Structures are given as structure tokens and as C-alpha cells.
Amino acid sequence: MSARRVRHRLDRSVRSFDAGRLLLGGSPATAFRLTDAGARWLDGLLVGSADGDGPVEPRPGEDRLLRRLVEVGVVHPEPEAGPRTEWPRVTMVVPVRDRPGELAALLDSVERSGEGPDQVVVVDDGSRDPAAHRSVAAAYGARVERIDASAGPGAARHAGVRAADHEVVVFVDSDVEVGPGWLSGLVAHLGDDGVVAVAARVRSAAVPGWIGEYEQRNGPLDLGADPGPVGPGRRIGHVPAALLLVRRDAYLRVGGFDADLRVGEDVDLVWRLAAAGGAVRHEPRVVVDHRPRADLRSWWSQRFGYGTSAAALDERHPGSVPPWRSSWWSLAVVAAALAGHPVAAVLTATTTALPLVRRLSGVPPVAAVRIGLEGHVAAGASFARASVRVWWPPLLLALFVRPTRRPAARLLAAAVAVRWWNRGAPLPVRDIPLAVADDVAYGAGVWVGCLQQSRWGPLLPLVRR
């Protein structure tokens, strides 16, 4: 792809001080101090800038700074793909099992989008009626690879990559439907040679019924409207493979999907790509619809399965799936609050926030302290969330043991408040039963997986300085 000017957008977490010369934000949170010239240069790159005649490529020093800003998520590129003649050739890989109707709907949506790939490989993962899938694929000019005994989505996708003829592969699940811009919006990021994978925002399709409405507000594959880099410990820790574009050579270098994983195989792949030095990005400007589970039993099984993957992921990526990440000081604040000592909690939080006044020179003292306090509040909310999401078995037990009854009740009240204010908006009353079932199913899966594999990382907090 030819070089072209790329606009960028500041992450919503970023705070600007000292006339734009000090930027604070990203994931992990990082402070950048710029010169006057650097602040003007960066401002010229941002969406909405009046400076539209800047260079196509930044100078070496600017390039290093820009890459670092993008790497930690302070700014996000918003590239455009350009003419189709400049694109790399793309193979679409679709794993499918017993879903000829969904496969037809997907391929039809690709055809209607006007952005079809150069090749489509449908991998039939042991379907009971292979002729039905062959018929659908043939109607849309797709090639079919057959696995006689179901090997799972990861193995099916890997078979599709081996059959692919092109340098870029886009994985699309059979229960997804795409729209205009679905491919160009992902391909655009390949103008940066460091990007090895890009994922779309996967929203739950509008399906009538209680579960369908809940999924639209709480879909597990929907990672929100914020773009950003992806990796363990980041704000966007993972992305699903429901619509994931990868460079084929980078994929093969890390060994592809782990065929032994039936759940969490996409998380594992993305983390290995990131660990190998490639950039993985979430691009929410590309939005696709994913059909949710239709009945309560399969919905519960899905959530339980997600939980069981935690132990396997911890085995492959030790320390990457703790239920809670915190500093020792935030742990002290949470402990004081649970022990019924709010004054001690406030004093500890304030005392540990004060050093930021010295460390963040250029930030008004009040703002620096507020940043520190907000960090403690966020850690407390995360602790409460983990308590009902993963630690609910011991929390329930603590409610019936006299010495721990009051702290457990305080924690449960805080957790209910955090869960109710779900994703920045109040949780509708009709969603509450499913929200409880969601947490119980996921947490039960985590405990069962850990017990089966004797891995305890997904149950233990990660506390660091």
C-alpha cells in the first residue's frame, strides 16, 4: 500500500496540560512531555486540525514519538485504505459447522457490501450435512475445505490459512454479517508495516426476545467504541476472531491457532502475535453484527466456556488473566474500606496521591491529586467487579461466617452498585437476572477450569508497586 497522510485522534483518556506540552493517558498510563514544536506537530496530525498540508511521512524523530504515542494508546491512527488497486490480496476464511443458513447469510452480506475478498475459503468442521455447505459455498464461488471430524474453530481456521493463496487473511465467523466498509476499514491499517492484526467491533445483532435485548447491551464480543492497541494488561486486553484480519506470514511465524483450545483460542493467538513484537489493533469504526445464542441453555454454556478458558490461557501466558490488577497502595485503600474504616481509606488514598504533585510537574496540584484518587477509585471498582464475577463463591461463604459477614456485605453492596452502573449506564431492571446468571456462569467456569488444570493464576489478584 502506498504511503499517505494519516490523521490521528487523541484517546478519550488523555489529559492535556501546559498548553498541550504535557500529555497524560493511554494504557498503561504514560506521561509525555513535548517541546513547543512537538506540540504543534502533533496538533497538526489530529482529526479536525486545519493543517491539511503536512508531510506524508514524519521525520525520524517525529516517527519515533508517533509510534510510541500509538503504541501506548495516547493517539489512534484513522487511516483510509485508498483505491482497491493498492490493497494487498485478501483471502477470507470462514469456519462453519452445521450452519448452512448462517453461512448463506454471511456470504450474501459480503456480496452486498461491495468489498468482497479476492478468495473465500469455507472450512467445514465436521458438519453432519456437508452437501448443504458445499451447495451454499458454490453459489457464492467459495472454495470448501472439509475436516471429517470436528476439530474446533481454531483448527478449522488454521486449515483455512493453509489453503489460502494470499498474503492477508481475514477470519469471519459464520454467524456474522458484514456491511459496507467492513474490509477496507481493516486493510487500511496495513499501511503501517508494524501492524500484524486488526479486529472489528463485533456487536450483537438485533434479535427479539429477552436474551437478544440483553446481548445488545452486554454482548461479550463487543469491546466498545474506543480504538486502541490490544494485549494482556491493556485497556483492550483481547479481541475476538469473529472478524479478525491478519498478515499470513506473522500468523504462521507464531504457529497459528492452538488446536488444543476449543475456547479462548483467539485470545491466545492475539497475545502471541503481540508478544512476537507485532501490533494488534481494535478498529471500532468497522462494525459487524454477530448473532447471539438463541436459548438460555446455550447462552449459559457459552459464558461458562469463556470462564474455563482462563486456566488454559494462564498456562500459556502466566500472569495474564488475573481477576484484579492493583498497586499495593490501592489494595491498602480497599482493605481499609472493607474493614469499616472509611477515614483511614480516604487518608491512605490522599497520602499516596500527593507524590504525583512532584512527579507530574506541569500539572496543577489539585489535578495531580485528583488523578491519583481516581486511580484508587478505579481499582476499588475493579475489585468489586471481580468479587461478583470471579470470587462470588468465597464471597457468598463469607456472608454466612460471623467474623467476615460485615466486610462481605460492604463488598457485595459495592459490587452491586458497580455492576448496576454497567458500561457507564444504569443496568435496566429486566437485565438484572441475566446479569447475575452471566457472572455466575463465567465465575463457575473459571473455578472449574482452575480445579481441572490445577492453575490458580485466574483466581489470584496481581498486586505490584
Query: pLDDT tens-digit profile of 198-209?
Result: 999 999 998 889
Q: 286, 200 in Cβ contact below 8 A?
A: yes
Provide the pLDDT for residue 426: 81
Over residues 364-393, the mean pLDDT reads: 94
Query: pLDDT tens-digit profile of 20-74?
Result: 899 999 988 899 999 998 898 888 888 766 554 444 456 777 888 999 999 999 9
- pLDDT above 70: residue 463: yes
Provide the pLDDT for residue 179: 95
Distances (CA, A) of 385 to 52, 121, 302, 367, 418: 44, 41, 20, 27, 7
Query: pLDDT tens-digit profile of 224-261?
Result: 999 999 999 899 999 999 999 999 999 999 999 999 99
Q: 339, 407 in Cβ contact below 8 A?
A: yes
Query: pLDDT tens-digit profile of 288-341?
Result: 999 998 899 999 999 999 999 999 999 999 999 999 999 999 999 999 999 999
Query: pLDDT tens-digit profile of 138-152?
Result: 999 999 999 999 999
Provide the pLDDT for residue 44: 87
* DSSP codes, 435-454: HHHHHHHHHHHHHHHHHHHT
Provide the pLDDT for residue 28: 85
* DSSP codes, 62-117: HHHHHHHHHHTTSEEEE-----GGGSPPEEEEEEESS-HHHHHHHHHHHHHHT---
Q: How far, in Å, CA of 271 to CA of 316, rounded?
A: 10
Q: How far, in Å, CA of 304 to CA of 84, rounded?
A: 42
Local confidence band at 347 (pLDDT 50, 70, 90 cut-offs): very high
Q: 182, 113 in Cβ contact below 8 A?
A: yes
Local confidence band at 273 (pLDDT 50, 70, 90 cut-offs): very high
* DSSP codes, 384-419: HHHHHHTSHHHHHHHTTSGGGHHHHHHHHHHHHHHH
Q: How far, in Å, CA of 3 to CA of 388, rounded?
A: 48
| Nearest residue to 108 via CA among 142, 141, 145, 140 | 140
Provide the pLDDT for residue 421: 77
